Amino acid sequence: MSDSLPAGVFELASAPLHLGLGATAVVESAMTDMTWYEGYVDRHGDDGVEGRLVSVGTFSEPWEMWEMHPLATRW
């Protein structure tokens, strides 16, 4: 995260965002490995199907496959 950003502003490319119950928004720590996802479930699993993870990624090459989330909607 850039030190020059105003308080309360974050870079979505560096820190994902959880949208939860009651219109909550929680800035998460940077994604690291699969243990990050386990911690995410521990932190927000009670939000159930209403919870959303928002992130941005950049890639140097086209993907050879697509992600599939059977219980979620992707735009």
What is the chain written as a DSSP string? --TTSPTT---TTTS-EEEEGGGEEEEPPPP-SHHHHHHHHHHHGGGGGG-EEE-----SS--SS----TTS---
Q: Give the per-residue pLDDT at 65.
A: 83
As a whole number of angstroms, the distance between CA 47 and CA 51 comes to: 5
Q: Give the per-residue pLDDT at 26.
A: 94
Q: What is the pLDDT of residues 16-57, one digit of tens each?
A: 999 999 999 999 999 889 999 999 999 999 999 899 999 988
Q: Is the pTM of this model over 0.85?
A: no
